[in-house]
Structure 1
Amino acid sequence: MKNERLLHEVNIVLEHISTALDVERSSFFLLNNKTATLDSIAAQEIENPIFSIPIGKGIAGSVAMRRTPIIENDAQNSPLFDNSYDSQLNFKTRSIICIPVDNQLGKTIGVIQCLNKRKGIFTEHDIIVLNSFAATISLIIKNAQLYFTSEEVKNNFSVLLDVFGTVSSELDLDNLIPLIMSKAAKITNADRSSLFFLDKETGELWTKYAKGLKSEIIRTKKGIVSLVAKNKTSSIINDAHSHPSFDSSIDKKTGYVTKSILCVPIFDVQNEVLGVVQVINKTEGVFKEEDLFILEGFASQIRIAIENAQLFSQINGMKNYLNILIENLDNGILTVDKSNNIQTVNTTFCKMFDLSQHENIVNKKIDVLDKKLFSILKYGGDTMRTGKRHYEYGISYETEKQKNIIANLSTLPMQDSNGKIVGAINVFQDVTREKRIRANLSRYIPHHIVNEVINKDDLSIMQSKNRKCTILFSDIRNFTKLTEELGATQIVDLLNKYFDVMVNAIHTHNGILDKFIGDAIMAVFGVPYTNSSDSVNAVRCALNMFKMLDNLNENKNIAAKLNIGVGISTGNVISGNIGSEKRFEYTVIGDPVNIAARLESETKKYDVPILVCENTYHNIVDYFFCEEIDSVVLKGKQHSVKIYTVVKEK
């Protein structure tokens, strides 16, 4: 009696076939080797479709015999067509397509037949479609073990189903194999059963399970099991001791008498031998072909069990690997599914946002997080809906423990194997320390140099080079007198306020603060990259310094009014890291540096706020109103140079 669940599965496949090929009816016939017939086990539109077709008769019988597909688009005129079934079923066949169904070993086990294409005719493309469905039906038949014909197998069908169900649900081989083997012995009416795995390195077969041996492991390269493994062919031996390959040493060792053996190889997906399953001593009668079919089915289930266990082990190993990887990332990770349930959260995320390690938020909605953190994660919805990545930089966040962090956020879609979006992953990079370093460095050098130092591995720009740049020197007038009039605390406070506004002016105009020399400031424009506007930037900086100094002098909280002079010079210098191995200073040396210092000193003599050299003048004359002051021989120079003062910007 056919199992209803299996018939239901085959009928579902036939429905899909009829839809895919747009036909009126589809049927499946199972090959019965004993009777040399095709037995119908499922046929659409036919109640109780129990009828047989002799092999070689009709189109279906011809396909089973030839093992090749047949297309007949004018069935009634085909010499192969047998219209007797049309008469029985009160149906008229116009066109037929029929293909063989093979098992995993390439043996034909049945045929699929489709009748009457609704539109057009059957083509080779339809054969390709049918072949894909044939593989599905073959798997259903193989897994369900429909190859039994004896009444004994039918009576034990529930045992087979129990084994198949257990294979699907159990992944532990140590629990599963004894169950399958005991069932195999029961259903074949054998006294004992055993399972051997093949050691491919040594060529030995060893017992994974053997009833009667308890925990003892047998290793052998002899006997019936070795012959079956070597030949990749099942064996039925009902007089074991008379067989030339029988190894009696195990009987002598265990005291057990082997009379009959049924032995079946287990194959992997590459059709290589994994091992051998064996049952011993039929309790009544002898082992028959029906027992062989049953044991081959068990061998198939053992293979599936091994593959499932291996796949589960691989997935578990991969999952553990990914968990370890995620846990050891420096970035905070939080993933959510399409229902906004938290699926993954690593330790770094919890530490970053001051979440308790003991508070399990996995499988909870993201709204369990505080409102500020929840608002940051809002971008995941857009990412899951559109599939687009989202980036946020420099997110400021204060945790419940008043810890201030700055983070960059990347929100990325998570996809399954079919490319369907199943969630979003939020990656938080804590840049608090980097921001702090940038802020601190920016107190010493401009932002563009900070970026070079932090972001580039190659700092060759910082190596010594000859380049053209503009030097600015500023100095506080009468500073010595101020130090005599004010106390040390007042002087330090005054200088700090003064330097703060001056350095801001330098950085605003893309200059580098080279150094403080007492109350003097040296700034450089044009390093590490030379720019045509370096001289203009230096003069604009100087004018801005005077403006900001006026604002500072208006402050009632400063101890004294300040006045400065500025000297600016342009020319070729040597720039780069200068110093010892333990400490470098990025600076410039050369004649323009000395000239700028001399010009600053000369501002007192000519009573002007700014003096620039001739080279600087030629670079800025289109941008500023300037006046020639004099031609002077600067200290350390043999020839006179023209000097200019800047009145204002044009």
Structure 2
Amino acid sequence: MEPLIVLNEIKSIKEKIVYAKSLKGLESLQLVFFSKKSLIKSLGLQNFFISDFPIKLISNENITDLEKGSEKNKLINTFLDFDSIEAIKLFSIAINQISIGYIVIPEEIKLSKKLINTILNLKFQLENSIKIKQLEIKLINSNNDLKNKLLEIESLIDVTDIIDNQHGLMQDLFEGLLVTIISILNSSKGMVLLKDEKSGFFNVVSQFNILKEELPSKILRITKGILKELDENKTSKIVDNPQEYSLLRPSKKNALLSPIITGTELVGAILLFDKESRNGLVRFTQQDLRLFDSLSKKVSHAYDNIRLIDSLKTSNKLVDNIMSSITTGIIMINILGEIEFVNESAKKIFELDEEGVINNHYFMVFQNNPKLIELLEKSEIQDETIFEDNFNTIDSKGSSREINLTLSPVYNEQNERSGLVFSFEDLSGINKIKSTFKKYVSENIVDELLQNENSLELGGAQNEVCVLFCDIRGFTSLSEKMKPSEVVYLLNNYFEAMIDVVFSHNGTLDKIIGDELMVLYGVPIKGDNDSQNAVNTAMEMFKSLEKFNVRMSEENLPELKIGIGINFGKVVSGNIGSEKQMNYTVIGDAVNLAARLCSHAKSGQVVISESVYNQISNQKSFESQKPIMVKGKSNEISNWIFNA
């Protein structure tokens, strides 16, 4: 088994060190710490601590080389027992970029890339263990002070930033988060479940203080039990009857549950069991639930960020765009109205200088925002949570910003109010979201949905609409002779060319059906002459197709041929489907006739109905044809053809 995999699977940090020293080439590996003595001792690593380690040997460089015979080489050998004085590599173990120790390797044997990766992985796990232990100690000594808890959460975000650049360390992230949340809420035990993207089943990725026999022994599905309830409600909850759910049987009193959500999908859950007190196990309260829900939402946000980053690593530009749109600010205000904590996002959004904000009253900090001050006062006086969407603010430089904000009162252990948390999201990236949405849905439909909230309701209305169908002729037999990758490449480029023409004539792309396009004119936006726009689109499609075929032939790809059918008539347009899944589309006999005319069209032809012909100005471009019979019609259909 690969050393990196083994190293990750070993739980004890001391055993990790022993294992690393057992590897060939690392037998002479030594460890030394010269700072954070109590912290190192708490991890059981006190034997590696040297209190009088020379200051001149300490450096914040990630890797330091000490040449054979150098003064520093000789000096370090007075503290470490090497068989011979060889060249030495020092790998810095750092906390907050300050070195507190070294992994020391004498270069008797040239280090391979695999061994260096093993050393760096051990270094990372040592640093991560130290940070988590440091966080645990802070939590134990904080007396549940909310300011420290928020700072601890911010520290976890720093850990998340490190893990973003690692592979396969998601479990380490959730172990740290679980320890933090359990400490904050004084829970006796807990676990984190995550959904496997391939199987759809949920697995335990992190647990604390749960016996092996208490862990789930069956496959966890979203279709039953407590996970089904979480998926349906997608809200944090207290379960006072845990013994009725197999997943919650580790609990003796009650349990806290919170979903981990990406978009609208349940991708995981955090479960805490039984609150500890001086009098033993007690039940969680609604106050605990409020705090737990707030913390869990931050977990969802962090997990969502990691998934986004992982899925978009192949495109640095797109990653930058996504990251710049993720902005969540947190400001902690104490009972006196003084600001105690401001995270980095809040500083950026409001252009704040930490020195000028911390310990200042919010009246002074937000003096340019009288409406925000009114909301803060209201939250203080009425002791209630306040939500505001699309709230206008002014930053310290006088620039206007729009935010979604939440003002949440917080309480101490005696259930006395201790201040409030002001959390908010910057909405400056909304145009980026619109742009992304318009890649999946026609721009006209997006604008209609954003401007009219009733457009999101099921139902429809009767409208006169021009419908265009465009189909590739003989594509099925053509694609059978091509590689799948070539088929996808050809279709993607073809659709891009055709859809650009559609949008340039104010068409609404209803759907793509295989190799066929269905385009609407007249909904959701009505034009001066929708039939003319449809005909103009069809004619320009042939011009665009000709250029497209020339370009594809240069890449040794086959030429495409299309046929187009257009009809104008009354249809029902609107959101068709269910509350959970709906599509904006049109239905009716006029749609069916347009599809039949497209089927009748030969390669290079546009076939239009009489209702279209009567409304267009370029009738001379079309030739009258013998009426045809089409499926679903008892009478013959008059039609006109344009030959490209």
Could you tell me the TM-score, scaled by structure 1's length?
0.35
Structure showing greater Rg? 1
TM-score by length of 2: 0.35
